[in-house]
Amino acid sequence: MKEEALKVIEEVLKSGRTALVEYEAKQVLKAYGLPVPEEKLARTLDEALKYAEEIGYPVAMKLMSPQILHKSDAKVVLLNIKTPEELKEKWEVIHENARRYRPDAEILGVLIAPMLKPGREIIIGVTEDPQFGHAIMFGLGGIFVEVLKDVTFRIVPITERDARKMIQEIKSYPILAGARGEEPADIDAIVDLLLKVSQLVDELRDYIKEMDLNPVFVYEKGKGAVVVDARIIVKEKN
Amino acid sequence: MEAKIVEEMKPFFDPKAVAIIGATNKKGKVGNVIFENFKTNKERGIFKGNIYPVNPKLDEIDGYKVYKSVEELPDDTDLAVVSIPAPFVPDTMKQIAKKGIKSVVIITGGFGELGEEGKKLEREILEIARENGIRIIGPNCVGVYVPDTGVDTVFLPEEKMDRPKSGPIAFVSQSGAFAAAMLDWAAGAGIGIGKMVSYGNKLDIDDADLMDYFIHDEGINVVTFYIEGVKDGRKFMEAAKRITKVKPVIALKSGRSEYGAKAASSHTGSLAGADTIYDAAFKQTGVIRAEDFEHMFDLAKAFAALKDKLPKGDRIGIITDGGGAGVMASDAVDRFGLRMAELSEETLKYLRENFPPHAVPGNPTDVVGDTDAERYRIAIEGFVNDPNVDAIVVIVLFQVPLLEDEKIIDILAEYQKKSDKPIVAVAMGGEKTERYARILEEKGVPVYPTPERGVRAMAGLVKYAEYLRRGA
């Protein structure tokens, strides 16, 4: 697990960067068994068409560039591409958008991803405190985190009981537990995510500076969760 | 390792002989107050050790021989209290090391808190300490107060600052000013403090060391910390995990580091204030966080009396002689995450049969304004025997005309002793009430001036009991 993740991080550091692009961040997460979508990085249009065929239409396209970390601002996330023809057309559009946003943007490729069924959005994050070391954060996505700052923290590593308490102690917990007649969300899947992130950070503590898994879609009980977008910042090599 | 810390701390709390380096005969000076403290406690027969003032310019102070240097000190000296200006401390430390003294309290300020120059002095001092196995409390602190042994390095004279009686609460404070104010306040509130340590810049001995020490201190039931910042968070957490399994730790954390405000490149970083991180660390290690100093001592008082009698669950029973106070207590039960007990049929029947018709059985049970002590006894008897009740809050408005003061105090004390359910009392009122409250507390029943504070203290007991049962 650790070796695979380290390989990705070392590559990034070698190229003089500390911010992993989404694709790289997800490679690190995948190495620790976190659920990420079946995505592939296409370097050419031909590869993109091939991967889209394998994944099955409709697909999403996300352009990967170390200079473009706020992808939606740059309009380099295009969703619901239904046919190869549309993909060809959007391939041009997405590159044009990237150039317009950052003419000097280095483009690593375009991530071809399946369109995901929406779920309840959560955020899992990691930060490093100068006194206590790494801490893991949990909250519900969207306005719950942006406006209400309804999040909770624990110092890494955490226990399963810590993970469960984190989930239960946020104010918006009823949304996960199933308010207004909704099915409850897959709490066990969130616990599993938190524990895996904790393990990842604990083992890679000398490398990881900050992480955002935002959003993560959580489905109904028994149906799991998937990391939709992820950012990892690593420490500069010393 | 923990046993070593007990050995190391012993001279700080119960020295054979204390050297007061910087002792002087000038009234009000730090070196004079500290000397006076020890001298007075010796005259009272509390401090049993020898007292050796050190000052190159004096021959004697108040009949005590003054030593010109550390070198001249008798060999039984095992504690040095240093109150000379910062630049002279490193040299004195060298002499202390040579003399073989292993415990040093550095009262003096003007070190790391002032900047780089002071930090350099601190590094020098620490190096000497580490090389010679010396432990240091301070610098920049008021040091140690132990009522049982008469150790008192607090440089605020008795006529200005009252000293609390002894008790099972340990109080540790980073800030010297806060420590002094709290001791004075605790004395006034009748709260017993077994040991106070103010460690200032915590150059050497820190929170983690003291937690490891207090695990073994049988006179201490509960440890309270006033913390401004922790240097090594992981060390703090490890020590906290060890002690909270044995005795409760209450922390009052103030001060926010600039960390919370620093620019973070991730979403998570921007949401993580230093305070949220401390909150997490406390939760994971079973440390109970106090909202303010009132809450800290409310909790400390409850644990001091009831540490060995923790509630078995979160179902609270309330007895009151005033309807309004009962409602306030019920609201507080909800607010502090506890549950109102549902009295069993037998209990309700027992209360109905023994109460006059206008008293109100239930939860809360209202014994109403014409109550006497006996009606309280019936209510408490019912609650104590009810398997649905885990803990009891008894509100006593001593002002009601027929209530016999002494009898109700005895009844509460009696049930506190014989029942395995913890009882806290709430007594609202003025001077008379205050006097009764003191007597009740002497008899092992913690008393709070409002229903909220009584219930909040009980909530601390409930949460700690749950932590002991189930872990963090």
What is the CATH superfamily name and number for domain A39-115? Answer: ATP-grasp fold, A domain (3.30.1490.20)
The CATH class of the B309-470 domain is: alpha beta
How close, in Å, is residue A32 to chain B by CA atoms?
A: 20
Give the gap in angstroms from C-alpha B262 to the nearest C-alpha of chain A.
11
Please indicate whether the domains covering B2-303 and B309-470 agree at the CATH topology level. Answer: yes
Partner residues linked to A62 by β-bridges: A77, A111
Residues in B 197-256 with any Cβ partner in A closer than 8 A: 229-234, 237
Q: How close is the nearest chain B Cα to the Cα of A46, in Å? A: 35
B261 touches chain A (CB under 8 A): no
- The residue of chain A nearest to residue B281, with distances taken between CA atoms, is A155
The b-or-e profile of B111-143 (16+ CB within 10 A means b, else e) is bbeeeeebeebbeebeebbeeeebbbbbbbbbb
* Percent of chain A whose predicted confidence (pLDDT) is above 90: 89
Predicted pLDDT at A72: 87
Q: Mark yes or no for CB contact A129/B266 under 8 Å.
A: no
**Average pLDDT score over residue span B243-263:** 75
Retrieve residue B433's tokens: 């009430």
Q: Is the dihedral of CA B243, B249, B254, B259 positive or negative?
A: positive
Q: Cβ contacts of residue B274 below 8 Å, gap of 6+?
A: A129, A131, B256, B257, B259, B260
CATH 3.30.470.20 domain position(s) in chain A: 120-234
Burial per residue of A33-48, b for 16 or more beta-carbon CB atoms within 10 angstroms, e otherwise: ebbbbebbbbeeeeeb
Q: What percent of chain A has pLDDT over 70?
A: 100
Interface residue of B235, B258, B267, B469 to substitute, partner A, most A CBs within 10 Å? B267
Domain borders along chain B are 2-303, 309-470
Where, residue-wise, is CATH 3.30.1490.20 in chain A?
39-115
Query: What are phi and psi for residue A29, nearest 5 degrees?
Result: -65, -45
Model confidence at B280, in pLDDT bands (50, 70, 90)? Answer: very high
When pLDDT is cut at 50, 70 and 90, the band that residue B271 belongs to is: confident
Question: How many Cα atoms are found within 13 Å in the side-chain-facing hemisphere of A166?
Answer: 36
ipTM over 0.85: yes
Please determine, for residue A17, whether its predicted confidence score (pLDDT) is greater than 80: yes
What pTM was computed for the model? 0.91
Phi and psi (nearest 5°) for A95?
Answer: -70, -40
pLDDT-derived band of residue B314, with 50, 70 and 90 as boundaries? very high
pLDDT digits (tens, 9 = 90+) for B159-184: 999 999 999 999 999 999 999 999 99
3-state secondary structure at position B386: coil
Kindly indicate the confidence band of residue B2, based on its pLDDT and cuts at 50, 70 and 90.
Answer: low
Q: Is the pLDDT of residue B268 over 80?
A: no
Chain A, nearest residue to B270 by Cα: A127
- Band of residue B265 on the pLDDT scale cut at 50, 70, 90: low
How high is the pLDDT of residue B258?
Answer: 47
Task: Find the helix or strand (DSSP H, E) in which B425 lies.
Answer: strand B423-426
Which residues in chain B touch residue A170, judged by CB atoms under 8 angstroms apart? none
Tokens 């549950």: give the residue. B339
Report how far residue A125's alpha carbon sits from residue A140's, in angstroms, rounded to the nearest whole number: 11
Position B5 pLDDT exceeds 50: yes
* The CATH classification of domain A120-234, taken from the options 3.10.450.50, 3.30.470.20, 3.40.50.300, 3.90.79.10: 3.30.470.20
Task: Give me the mean pLDDT over the B233-237 stretch.
Answer: 96
* Cβ neighbours of B259 in A, within 8 Å: 129-130
* CB-CB contact of A233 with A204 (8 Å): no
pLDDT digits (tens, 9 = 90+) for B101-145: 999 999 999 888 888 899 999 999 999 999 999 999 999 999 999
Q: Is the pLDDT of residue A80 over 50?
A: yes
CA-closest candidate to residue B197, choices B219, B179, B214: B179
Q: Binning pLDDT at 50, 70 and 90, where does residue A125 land?
A: very high
Total CB pairs under 8 A between chain A and B: 89
Q: Are B321 and B400 in contact (CB under 8 A)?
A: yes
Domain B2-303 of CATH type 3.40.50.261: yes
Choose among A236, A235, A214: nearest CA to A226.
A214
| B284 lies within 8 A of chain A by CB | yes
Grade residue B260 by pLDDT with cuts at 50, 70 and 90. Answer: very low
CA distance B144 to chain A (A): 26
Exposure string of A108-126, with b = 16+ CB inside 10 Å and e = fewer, is bbbbbbbbeeebbbbbbbb
